[in-house]
Amino acid sequence: MNVGLFIPCYVDQFYPQVGIASLELLRKLGCKVHYPAGQSCCGQPLANSGFEKKAIPVYEHFVETFAPYDYIVAPSGSCTYHVRKHYDILPKTREVEHVREKSLDMAEFLVDVMKLDKIESHFPHKVGLHQSCHGLRGLRLASGSERVQNSFSKIRAVLDLVDEIEFVELDRKDECCGFGGTFAVNEEAISVKMGKDRIQDHKSKGAEVIVAGDMSCLMHLEGIMRRKKENIPVRHFVEILNGTQL
């Protein structure tokens, strides 16, 4: 099984430790992982701004880069969702269909493909789990609070394998953090207010760290906290699975 590791542009630039943790974790689990150096971005920022047609060359570049792999795995529910859902405007060639079908978020890959049932990791902290929206409602990584169904969460399922980890119960377990890509600047006032409200929920429940499957949400929440000098550390869940400590 040949895995192509997709590290979203902003993770590459600002959160290399998340890329490193993803790579190390997958290798530890015995996957043959390669990071194709020509990759850039999935094109979501353009498309969500209304320019999906302009993003077509970006999409084509992505498909070309990742078509040779059996799976395309990324530590991002949002970018994965974009490829799976919105690359539908490309001609449905074999390569395009393959890349769309086989693009998986880390949580999906670990649960659905690797059937992960144990992990060597120890994290004796109270975790506030932030369910990023595109992973939650786009990829259905967890049961959303709106829907009537049995409760599950793939991220929670893999984190539950970690020794001594604890979770806090939030008042609003899956409300949006307000990042939303260009929304964060288009609607700055609401975006920040949503972020502050999420942080307050985690803080009031005694979370020692906020964990999510998308660094974009965490970049936004961290940015607000650092400005207010009230830092709760943020981590991607793969960092915890890979043994990172606070």
Partner 1 sequence: MSKHPQKAADFIANEARTDWHDQSLWVVREKRDKLAKGVAEWEELRELASQIKDHTLSHLDSYLEEFEKNALTNGAKVHWAKDAEAHNQIVLDILQRHQVRSLVKSKSMLTEECSLNPFLEKQGIEVIDTDLGERIIQMKNEPPSHIVMPAIHLKKEEIGELFHEKLQTEKGATDPKYLTEAARQHLRSHFLQADAALSGVNFAIAETGGVTICTNEGNADMGIHLAPLQIHCMGLEKVIPRQKDLGVFTRLLARSATGQPITIYTSHHLKPKPGGEMHIVIVDNGRSEQLGREDFRNSLKCIRCGACMNTCPIYRRSGGHSYDYTVPGPIGSILTPGKDLKKYSDLPFASSLCGSCSDVCPVKIDIHQQLYKWRQIIAEEGYLPKSKTKGMHMAAKILSNPTSYQRATKWMRRILRFLPRPLLYLNTNVWGKQRELPEVPTKTFKDWYKENRDES
Select from 154, 8, 148, 181 the least CA-distant residue to 79. Answer: 8
Residue type for position 195: G
Alpha-carbon span 14 to 203, nearest angstrom: 24
Restricting to residues 45-74, name those near partner 1 by CB under 8 A: 45-55, 57-58, 60-61
Pick the closer one to partner 1 by CB: 165 or 235: 235
**20, 25, 26, 31 alpha-carbon torsion, rounded to 10°:** 120
How many residues interact with partner 1 (rule CB under 8 A)?
A: 77
How are strands ordered across the β-sheet holding 209-212?
A: 166-167, 126-130, 209-212, 234-236
**Which of residues 219, 232, 243, 244 is near partner 1 by CB under 8 A?**
219
Does 178 bind partner 1 (CB under 8 A)? Our answer is: yes
Query: Closest distance between partner 1 and the C-beta of residue 243, in Å?
Result: 17
Interface characters, 30-49, with partner 1 (x: CB under 8 A): ----xx-xxxxx-x-xxxxx
Residue with smaller CB distance to partner 1, 123 or 179: 179
Should residue 151 be labelled a site residue for partner 1 when binding is judged by CB under 8 A?
A: no
CA dihedral 157, 41, 3, 245 (to 10 degrees): -40
Choice between 24 and 97, CB closer to partner 1: 24
Our finding on whether 2 is near partner 1 (CB under 8 A) is no
Only segment of 105-113, 179-187, 202-210, 235-243 that touches partner 1 (CB under 8 A): 179-187
Burial of 141 (0-12, 13-18, 19+ CB in 10 A): buried
**Is 77 one of the binding residues for partner 1 (CB under 8 A)?**
no
User: Should residue 115 be labelled a site residue for partner 1 when binding is judged by CB under 8 A?
Assistant: no
- At 223, list the tokens: 């940015």
Instruction: Answer yes or no: are the C-beta atoms of 173 and 151 closer than 8 Å.
Output: no
Q: Does 135 bind partner 1 (CB under 8 A)?
A: no
CB of 89 to partner 1, least distance (A): 9
Please report how close the Cβ of residue 94 comes to partner 1 at its closest, in angstroms: 21
Residue type, 237: F
Instruction: Give the separation between CA 1 and CA 31, rounded to whole angstroms.
Output: 7
Ramachandran region of residue 115, left (φ > 0), alpha (ψ -120 to 50) or beta?
A: left
Tell me how far, at minimum, the Cβ of 220 lies from partner 1, in Å: 7
Q: Is 28 in the site for partner 1 (CB under 8 A)?
A: no
Q: Does 95 bind partner 1 (CB under 8 A)?
A: no
Residue 192 is encoded by which pair of tokens? 């920040």
